[in-house]
Amino acid sequence: MSRFILVALATGLILNSNGVADTDAQVAARSDVLDLAGAFQNDGFKIRDGNFLGQISKDHSQIVAVNLYSGNAYWFTASAGQKADKLNISIFDDSGKPVSYMPYQSGSRAAAGFSPDASGLYYVKVVLEEGQPATFCLIYSYK
pLDDT in tens, 5-22: 444 444 444 444 444 457
pLDDT of residue 29: 80
What is the pLDDT confidence band of residue 143, given thresholds at 50, 70 and 90?
A: very high
pTM over 0.85: no
What are the extents of the domains in the chain? 3-15+33-135
What is the pLDDT confidence band of residue 49, given thresholds at 50, 70 and 90?
A: confident
What is the pLDDT confidence band of residue 24, given thresholds at 50, 70 and 90?
A: confident
Residues forming a β-bridge with 122:
66
User: So what CATH class is 3-15+33-135?
Assistant: mainly beta
Q: 59: buried, middle or exposed (CB in 10 Å: 19+, 13-18, 0-12)?
A: exposed
For residue 51, give every residue at least 6 positions away whose Cβ sits within 8 Å of its Cβ, in sequence order, or none: 16, 30, 33, 137, 138, 139
What is the pLDDT confidence band of residue 2, given thresholds at 50, 70 and 90?
A: very low
pLDDT of residue 20: 47
Per-residue pLDDT, averaged over 115-133, amounts to 94
Per-residue pLDDT, averaged over 31-52, amounts to 80
